[in-house]
Amino acid sequence: MELHVRGRKFLEGVRAITCYIVPLHAASQSQWAQLNLVQIMEYKVMDNETIGIFGGSGFYDFAEAGVEEIRVDTPYGPPSDKLARMTVAGRNVVFLPRHGHEHTIPPHRINFRANLWAMKELGVTRIIAPSAVGSLQPNIAPGDFVINDQFVDRTSGRIDTFFDGPVVTHVSTAEPYCPSLRALAIAAARQHGVTVHETGTAVTIQGPRFSTKAESRWFGSQGWSIVGMTQYPEVALARELAICYTAISLVTDYDTGVQIEGGTHVEVTDVMAVMRRNVATVKKVIRTMLEKAAPVRECVCAHALDHARM
């Protein structure tokens, strides 16, 4: 006998149901008594939630066993590369290098819509997105992590929505980052001894050029924390698909307009050294996040579209 839940083949053989219910011991007997079979099955379907990671090509060695590379076609064209499906810390993980595995796609040429759509196609409901940034504030030093909670968009010409009509949709980005994933990232960074800033505002510039000193000083004088080239529109598109998203902003250097008392800006070689250290550390942090992430997301992000349609 096959069991279908909302059209999806779920189980073969009723005896198997027992095997699925037994691990779900978190709920009390009385709570389970109130659940009907379909609810229990849906709970288990969600238990297979996949977590996505955008990042540099250093993540292929994350897998505990083989990596399955999957080419995904999207209505928006090809994503940056094949997606790598793997198991990490017992979790289903999909990894996509946003600049391509040879790092050949500059920030302003990334097909963000295709990348997010491809993640969605493979069942991703939560995304962890590390990226390199420059600091706009003296107290945010190279090597620090910022789990920013706001963004400012200073890009131009990037396609930044899935909703081109005819159904007019306005998604809220008042709090654009997932509160649960952010809390996980902060706790994991602390566990690994990283200096982590628990809030902050990330400016995304269009690139590929870096800011002028005047632009950089202006960003800093607004109280904004860090500057990079990829968080927008990645985070906004994730929200439009009701996918949880947290950035992990890895500070590599001070941006050009920052005045550092008694110091000078770091050299490129220093930037590369900081970058290598950051990548090694962020992999440990993300592994801890995967170990500790709730099997089922419990935040509000899944409801991003509930009141967004006109």
Residues 46-105 touching Zn ion, rule: CB under 5 A, are: none
Could you tell me if 70 and 105 are in contact, meaning their C-beta atoms sit under 8 angstroms apart? no
Burial of 20 (0-12, 13-18, 19+ CB in 10 A): middle
Closest CA to 149 of 180, 119, 124: 180
Q: Is 301 in the site for Zn ion (CB under 5 A)?
A: yes
Q: How far apart are CA 39 and CA 56, in angstroms?
A: 39
Q: Is 128 in the site for Zn ion (CB under 5 A)?
A: no
**Partners of 9 in beta bridges:** 4
- Catalytic: which of 81, 153, 255, 306? 255
CB nearer to Zn ion: pick between 177 and 219:
177
Report in angstroms how near the CB of residue 233 gets to Zn ion at its nearest: 18
Selected range binding Zn ion among 42-50, 53-61, 172-180, 276-284, rule: CB under 5 A: 172-180
Q: Is 253 a catalytic residue?
A: yes
Q: Report how many residues bind Zn ion under the rule CB under 5 A.
A: 4
What does the DSSP 8-state code read for residue 107? G
Report in angstroms how near the CB of residue 175 gets to Zn ion at its nearest: 10
CB nearer to Zn ion: pick between 140 and 243:
243
Q: Is 229 in the site for Zn ion (CB under 5 A)?
A: no
- Catalytic: which of 73, 81, 253, 270? 253
Selected range binding Zn ion among 165-173, 202-210, 252-260, 300-308, rule: CB under 5 A: 300-308
Q: How far apart are CA 209 and CA 197, in angstroms?
A: 26
Q: Is 306 a catalytic residue?
A: no
What does the DSSP 8-state code read for residue 62? G
Integer angstrom CA distances of residue 47 from 4, 112, 123, 125, 298: 16, 27, 12, 11, 12
Report in angstroms how near the CB of residue 184 gets to Zn ion at its nearest: 10
Residues 176-205 touching Zn ion, rule: CB under 5 A, are: 178
Q: How far apart are CA 67 and CA 46, in angstroms?
A: 22
**Token couple for 154:** 């200073």
Residues 236-295 touching Zn ion, rule: CB under 5 A, are: 244
Interface contacts to Zn ion, rule CB under 5 A:
178, 244, 299, 301
Which positions are annotated as active-site residues? 253, 255
